[in-house]
Amino acid sequence: MSKLSIDGTDKSILRFLIKDARTPVLEIARNIGISGAAIHQRLKKLENSGLIAGSKFIINPKALGYTTMAFVGVFLEKAKINSDVVRQLKRIPEVIECHYTTGDWSILIKILCKDNMHLMSVLNKGIQEISGVSRTETYISLNQQIDRQIKI
pLDDT at 4: 79
Buried b (16+ CB within 10 A) or exposed e, 31-57: ebebeeeebeebbeebeeeeebeeeee
**3-class SS at 127?**
helix
Domain ranges of the chain: 8-49, 61-141
- Burial environment of residue 19 by CB neighbours within 10 A (0 to 12, 13 to 18, 19 or more): exposed
pLDDT per position as a tens digit, 69-100: 999 999 999 999 999 999 999 999 999 999 99
Is 61-141 in CATH node 3.30.70.920? yes
The pTM of this model reads: 0.84
When pLDDT is averaged across residues 33-51 and rounded to a whole number, the result is 94
Q: Which of 67, 52, 37 is nearest to 4 (CA)?
A: 52
Q: What per-residue confidence (pLDDT) applies to 2?
A: 62
Alpha carbon 126 to chain centroid, angstroms: 21
CATH number 3.40.190.170 is the correct assignment for the domain at 8-49 = no
pLDDT (mean) for 102-130: 97
